[in-house]
Amino acid sequence: MDYEKLVNVMRRLALEAGDKIMEIYNADDFDVKVKSDDSPVTEADEAADALISAGLREAFPDVLLITEEQASSHSKTGDTFLIVDPLDGTKEFINRRGDFTVNIAFVENGVPTRGVVYAPARDRMFLTLADGSAAEEVAPFVAGTMGVVRPIEVSNADNGALMVVASKSHRDQATDDYINKYAVKDMKSAGSSLKFCLIATGEADVYPRVGRTMEWDTAAGHAVLHGAGGKVVRFEDHTPLTYGKDGYANPFFIAYSPTVELKPA
Protein backbone atom coordinates (compact mmCIF):
# COMPACT_ATOMS: atom_id res chain seq x y z
CA MET A 1 0.00 0.00 0.00
CA ASP A 2 1.19 3.51 -0.84
CA TYR A 3 0.59 5.06 2.60
CA GLU A 4 1.23 8.63 1.41
CA LYS A 5 -1.50 8.28 -1.21
CA LEU A 6 -3.78 6.47 1.23
CA VAL A 7 -3.58 9.17 3.90
CA ASN A 8 -4.06 11.98 1.37
CA VAL A 9 -7.10 10.29 -0.20
CA MET A 10 -8.72 9.46 3.17
CA ARG A 11 -8.12 13.01 4.43
CA ARG A 12 -9.52 14.63 1.26
CA LEU A 13 -12.62 12.43 1.23
CA ALA A 14 -13.24 13.06 4.95
CA LEU A 15 -13.15 16.82 4.35
CA GLU A 16 -15.43 16.61 1.31
CA ALA A 17 -17.86 14.41 3.22
CA GLY A 18 -17.70 16.82 6.17
CA ASP A 19 -18.69 19.71 3.89
CA LYS A 20 -21.68 17.73 2.61
CA ILE A 21 -22.70 16.76 6.16
CA MET A 22 -22.51 20.37 7.38
CA GLU A 23 -24.68 21.56 4.47
CA ILE A 24 -27.43 19.24 5.69
CA TYR A 25 -26.71 19.88 9.40
CA ASN A 26 -27.16 23.63 8.91
CA ALA A 27 -30.39 23.25 6.92
CA ASP A 28 -33.73 24.03 8.55
CA ASP A 29 -34.73 20.37 8.46
CA PHE A 30 -33.51 16.99 7.20
CA ASP A 31 -34.95 13.50 6.80
CA VAL A 32 -34.34 10.84 9.43
CA LYS A 33 -35.11 7.17 8.73
CA VAL A 34 -34.79 4.04 10.86
CA LYS A 35 -32.67 1.10 9.71
CA SER A 36 -33.48 -2.56 10.26
CA ASP A 37 -31.47 -2.57 13.52
CA ASP A 38 -33.57 0.37 14.81
CA SER A 39 -30.64 2.80 14.51
CA PRO A 40 -31.28 6.16 12.82
CA VAL A 41 -29.89 7.15 9.43
CA THR A 42 -30.10 10.57 7.79
CA GLU A 43 -29.63 11.91 4.29
CA ALA A 44 -26.24 13.14 5.52
CA ASP A 45 -25.12 9.55 6.30
CA GLU A 46 -26.16 8.45 2.84
CA ALA A 47 -24.65 11.41 0.95
CA ALA A 48 -21.33 11.13 2.80
CA ASP A 49 -21.23 7.37 2.23
CA ALA A 50 -21.80 7.75 -1.51
CA LEU A 51 -19.02 10.33 -1.78
CA ILE A 52 -16.46 8.41 0.29
CA SER A 53 -17.21 5.02 -1.26
CA ALA A 54 -16.86 6.33 -4.80
CA GLY A 55 -13.58 8.02 -3.94
CA LEU A 56 -12.07 4.98 -2.25
CA ARG A 57 -13.16 2.59 -4.99
CA GLU A 58 -11.62 4.85 -7.62
CA ALA A 59 -8.32 5.24 -5.74
CA PHE A 60 -8.02 1.66 -4.43
CA PRO A 61 -10.12 -0.60 -6.67
CA ASP A 62 -8.43 -3.80 -5.50
CA VAL A 63 -8.90 -3.24 -1.74
CA LEU A 64 -11.92 -4.69 0.06
CA LEU A 65 -14.27 -1.89 1.19
CA ILE A 66 -16.58 -2.26 4.19
CA THR A 67 -18.98 0.57 4.95
CA GLU A 68 -21.75 0.89 7.50
CA GLU A 69 -24.36 2.16 5.07
CA GLN A 70 -23.94 -0.65 2.50
CA ALA A 71 -25.29 -3.82 4.08
CA SER A 72 -24.07 -5.87 1.12
CA SER A 73 -20.48 -5.20 2.22
CA HIS A 74 -21.04 -6.68 5.69
CA SER A 75 -21.00 -10.26 4.40
CA LYS A 76 -17.60 -9.82 2.76
CA THR A 77 -14.63 -11.07 4.76
CA GLY A 78 -10.93 -10.44 4.99
CA ASP A 79 -8.27 -9.24 7.39
CA THR A 80 -7.05 -6.35 5.22
CA PHE A 81 -9.63 -3.78 4.12
CA LEU A 82 -10.83 -0.18 4.10
CA ILE A 83 -13.66 0.48 6.55
CA VAL A 84 -15.92 3.53 6.71
CA ASP A 85 -18.47 5.10 9.00
CA PRO A 86 -19.50 8.15 6.97
CA LEU A 87 -21.29 9.77 9.92
CA ASP A 88 -20.46 8.36 13.34
CA GLY A 89 -22.66 9.80 16.05
CA THR A 90 -25.89 10.12 14.08
CA LYS A 91 -27.82 10.78 17.31
CA GLU A 92 -25.47 13.69 18.06
CA PHE A 93 -26.09 14.95 14.52
CA ILE A 94 -29.88 14.67 14.80
CA ASN A 95 -29.88 16.49 18.14
CA ARG A 96 -27.45 19.09 16.76
CA ARG A 97 -24.89 18.51 19.50
CA GLY A 98 -21.85 18.59 17.20
CA ASP A 99 -20.04 15.47 18.47
CA PHE A 100 -20.17 13.52 15.21
CA THR A 101 -17.33 12.41 12.99
CA VAL A 102 -16.37 11.06 9.61
CA ASN A 103 -14.35 7.85 10.09
CA ILE A 104 -12.18 6.24 7.41
CA ALA A 105 -9.62 3.56 8.25
CA PHE A 106 -7.32 0.97 6.72
CA VAL A 107 -7.00 -2.37 8.50
CA GLU A 108 -4.00 -4.62 7.83
CA ASN A 109 -3.88 -8.19 9.11
CA GLY A 110 -6.64 -7.40 11.59
CA VAL A 111 -5.01 -4.21 12.94
CA PRO A 112 -6.14 -0.63 12.11
CA THR A 113 -2.91 1.02 10.93
CA ARG A 114 -4.06 4.22 9.20
CA GLY A 115 -7.12 6.34 9.87
CA VAL A 116 -8.79 9.72 9.71
CA VAL A 117 -11.31 11.06 12.22
CA TYR A 118 -12.82 14.39 11.20
CA ALA A 119 -15.30 16.30 13.39
CA PRO A 120 -16.61 18.99 11.01
CA ALA A 121 -18.80 20.78 13.57
CA ARG A 122 -15.84 20.95 15.99
CA ASP A 123 -13.16 21.88 13.42
CA ARG A 124 -10.97 19.02 14.64
CA MET A 125 -9.08 16.60 12.41
CA PHE A 126 -7.12 13.64 13.75
CA LEU A 127 -5.17 11.35 11.47
CA THR A 128 -2.30 8.96 11.11
CA LEU A 129 0.51 10.12 8.85
CA ALA A 130 2.19 7.97 6.21
CA ASP A 131 4.74 6.74 8.77
CA GLY A 132 1.94 5.54 11.09
CA SER A 133 2.39 8.26 13.72
CA ALA A 134 -0.66 10.23 14.86
CA ALA A 135 -1.25 13.95 14.50
CA GLU A 136 -3.92 16.61 14.80
CA GLU A 137 -4.21 19.00 11.89
CA VAL A 138 -4.92 22.61 12.81
CA ALA A 139 -7.95 24.33 11.24
CA PRO A 140 -8.73 25.78 8.75
CA PHE A 141 -8.53 22.77 6.44
CA VAL A 142 -7.92 22.79 2.69
CA ALA A 143 -8.94 19.63 0.84
CA GLY A 144 -5.95 19.42 -1.50
CA THR A 145 -3.15 20.40 0.87
CA MET A 146 -2.40 19.25 4.39
CA GLY A 147 -1.95 22.20 6.70
CA VAL A 148 -0.12 22.54 9.98
CA VAL A 149 -0.03 19.26 11.90
CA ARG A 150 1.10 18.71 15.45
CA PRO A 151 2.19 15.29 16.68
CA ILE A 152 -0.02 13.80 19.41
CA GLU A 153 0.71 11.19 22.03
CA VAL A 154 -1.06 9.59 24.95
CA SER A 155 -0.73 10.82 28.51
CA ASN A 156 1.62 9.68 31.22
CA ALA A 157 -1.36 8.79 33.39
CA ASP A 158 -1.59 9.50 37.12
CA ASN A 159 -3.34 6.40 38.41
CA GLY A 160 -4.34 8.27 41.54
CA ALA A 161 -6.21 10.91 39.52
CA LEU A 162 -7.34 9.55 36.16
CA MET A 163 -9.16 11.42 33.42
CA VAL A 164 -11.94 9.16 32.12
CA VAL A 165 -13.98 9.65 28.96
CA ALA A 166 -17.28 7.86 28.37
CA SER A 167 -20.05 7.81 25.82
CA LYS A 168 -22.47 10.72 25.74
CA SER A 169 -25.41 8.73 24.31
CA HIS A 170 -24.71 5.22 25.62
CA ARG A 171 -23.77 5.64 29.29
CA ASP A 172 -25.14 2.94 31.60
CA GLN A 173 -24.77 1.45 35.07
CA ALA A 174 -22.31 -1.23 33.92
CA THR A 175 -20.01 1.49 32.59
CA ASP A 176 -20.27 3.47 35.84
CA ASP A 177 -19.59 0.34 37.91
CA TYR A 178 -16.37 -0.26 36.02
CA ILE A 179 -15.27 3.38 36.16
CA ASN A 180 -15.79 3.32 39.93
CA LYS A 181 -12.93 0.81 40.23
CA TYR A 182 -10.52 3.63 39.42
CA ALA A 183 -9.38 6.77 41.26
CA VAL A 184 -10.98 9.35 38.97
CA LYS A 185 -9.99 13.00 38.89
CA ASP A 186 -12.48 14.05 36.26
CA MET A 187 -14.98 12.63 33.79
CA LYS A 188 -15.60 13.76 30.24
CA SER A 189 -18.37 12.69 27.92
CA ALA A 190 -18.06 12.73 24.17
CA GLY A 191 -19.91 11.33 21.20
CA SER A 192 -18.61 9.15 18.39
CA SER A 193 -14.96 8.24 17.89
CA LEU A 194 -13.82 11.50 19.47
CA LYS A 195 -13.36 9.49 22.67
CA PHE A 196 -10.41 7.63 21.14
CA CYS A 197 -8.93 10.92 19.97
CA LEU A 198 -9.17 12.51 23.42
CA ILE A 199 -6.98 9.68 24.71
CA ALA A 200 -4.64 10.04 21.72
CA THR A 201 -4.06 13.72 22.55
CA GLY A 202 -3.63 13.09 26.27
CA GLU A 203 -6.87 14.92 27.12
CA ALA A 204 -8.14 11.68 28.72
CA ASP A 205 -6.50 8.50 29.99
CA VAL A 206 -9.03 5.70 29.61
CA TYR A 207 -12.31 4.95 27.78
CA PRO A 208 -14.22 1.81 28.76
CA ARG A 209 -16.98 0.72 26.39
CA VAL A 210 -19.45 -1.73 27.90
CA GLY A 211 -21.94 -1.72 25.06
CA ARG A 212 -22.49 -2.58 21.42
CA THR A 213 -20.20 -1.14 18.75
CA MET A 214 -19.24 -2.16 15.25
CA GLU A 215 -15.81 -2.12 13.68
CA TRP A 216 -16.64 0.89 11.49
CA ASP A 217 -17.41 2.83 14.69
CA THR A 218 -13.96 2.22 16.13
CA ALA A 219 -11.36 1.46 13.44
CA ALA A 220 -10.35 5.03 12.56
CA GLY A 221 -10.17 6.17 16.17
CA HIS A 222 -8.29 2.98 17.05
CA ALA A 223 -5.73 3.70 14.30
CA VAL A 224 -5.20 7.26 15.56
CA LEU A 225 -4.86 6.05 19.15
CA HIS A 226 -2.45 3.31 18.08
CA GLY A 227 -0.33 5.90 16.26
CA ALA A 228 -0.25 8.01 19.43
CA GLY A 229 1.02 5.11 21.55
CA GLY A 230 -2.32 3.95 22.96
CA LYS A 231 -3.95 0.54 23.13
CA VAL A 232 -7.41 -0.99 22.70
CA VAL A 233 -8.13 -4.33 24.38
CA ARG A 234 -11.10 -6.59 24.98
CA PHE A 235 -12.92 -5.79 28.20
CA GLU A 236 -13.07 -9.35 29.51
CA ASP A 237 -9.47 -10.53 29.14
CA HIS A 238 -7.43 -7.48 28.04
CA THR A 239 -6.25 -9.16 24.83
CA PRO A 240 -5.84 -6.88 21.78
CA LEU A 241 -9.01 -5.89 19.92
CA THR A 242 -8.68 -7.21 16.37
CA TYR A 243 -10.67 -6.51 13.19
CA GLY A 244 -12.31 -8.56 10.48
CA LYS A 245 -14.49 -10.38 13.01
CA ASP A 246 -17.71 -12.16 12.05
CA GLY A 247 -20.27 -9.53 11.09
CA TYR A 248 -17.80 -6.78 11.99
CA ALA A 249 -19.19 -6.63 15.55
CA ASN A 250 -16.98 -5.66 18.48
CA PRO A 251 -16.96 -7.12 21.98
CA PHE A 252 -16.83 -4.73 24.93
CA PHE A 253 -13.42 -3.02 25.05
CA ILE A 254 -11.16 -0.56 26.85
CA ALA A 255 -9.11 2.13 25.07
CA TYR A 256 -6.34 3.60 27.17
CA SER A 257 -2.88 5.04 27.65
CA PRO A 258 -0.51 2.15 28.47
CA THR A 259 0.46 3.87 31.73
CA VAL A 260 -3.05 3.26 33.08
CA GLU A 261 -3.14 0.29 35.47
CA LEU A 262 -6.15 -1.56 34.06
CA LYS A 263 -8.65 -3.06 36.47
CA PRO A 264 -10.20 -6.48 35.81
CA ALA A 265 -13.67 -6.64 34.31
- Binding site members: 68, 85, 87-90, 217
Q: ω into residue 140 within 30 of 0, thus cis?
A: yes
Phi, psi of 106 (to 5 degrees): -120, 125
Residues at the binding site for Mg(2+) are 68, 85, 87-88, 217
Residues at the binding site for substrate are 68, 87-90, 217
DSSP 182: S
Q: How far apart are CA 99 and CA 195, in angstroms?
A: 10
- CA torsion sign for 35, 188, 250, 264 is negative
Q: Give the ranges where the chain is alpha helix by DSSP (H).
A: 3-25, 43-59, 90-94, 173-179, 194-200, 215-227
